[in-house]
Structure 1
Amino acid sequence: MNTNQIEGLIGMLLVLGILVLLVLPSLPGIVRDRRADRQIREARAKRESQDGQKSSSRSTVPSTATWYADGRRSKKLVSS
């Protein structure tokens, strides 16, 4: 190997090391999120089996339009 190849190898290893250092802190968070998701799925399945019925797949969270309309309705018009 000549000097240029060694410098290229060192540079590549340095970039790879920096990438590992940037990605490494996110791995515990990913593992924790996956574990929480699994626990939520298991609890939901257990609850559904106890209830004997499945919950609706439709979201109960109001849409953006509903939030906007509620905000508009709650404001009182003041004439000056």
Structure 2
Amino acid sequence: MVSMNTNQIEGLIGMVAVLGILVLLVLPSVFGIVRDRRIDRQLREAQETADEEPAQKSSSRSTVPSTATWYAEGRRSKKLVSS
């Protein structure tokens, strides 16, 4: 059976601590790289599907602004006049 003296145990604990800190420092970078690669893949797939599909036909129906758009336009014009 191999027995370790105090110096060897302290050295082992120090080495494990340094490796643990190294892992904690490198882990966020690894997560970021994996996330960036996933986003790049999704963008590539979206571009490929957009290239394959024909362009959508525009609707012949006229678009009417929503109440929120109408309200915001009114508020903007009042703000410009009052200032």
2:17 to 8, 11, 14: 14
Between 19-28 and 4-13, the greater mean CA deviation after superposition: 19-28
Equivalent-residue separation in structure 2 for 1:21 and 1:36 (angstroms): 24
- TM-score under structure 1 normalisation? 0.53
1:46, distance to aligned residue in structure 2 (A): 0.7
The structure with the larger Rg is: 2
| Structure 1 residue ranges (4+ consecutive) displaced by more than 4 angstroms after TM superposition | none
Q: Could you list the runs of 5+ residues in structure 1 that have no partner in the other structure? A: 52-80
Identity among equivalent positions (%) equals 73
User: Which runs of 5 or more structure 2 residues have no equivalent in the other structure?
Assistant: 55-83
| Match of residue 5 from structure 1 | 8
Q: CA deviation at 1:31?
A: 2.6
Deviations 1:27-53 (A, max 9, x none): 3312320221111110121122226xx
Q: How many residues align?
A: 51
Question: Greater relative contact order: 1 or 2 (C-alpha under 8 angstroms, separation 6 or more)?
Answer: 1
Q: Deviations over 1:4-63 (max 9, x none)?
A: 210220111011011011112223312320221111110121122226xxxxxxxxxxxx
TM-score normalised according to structure 2 size: 0.51
Query: 24, 28, 31: which one pairs with 1:25?
Result: 28
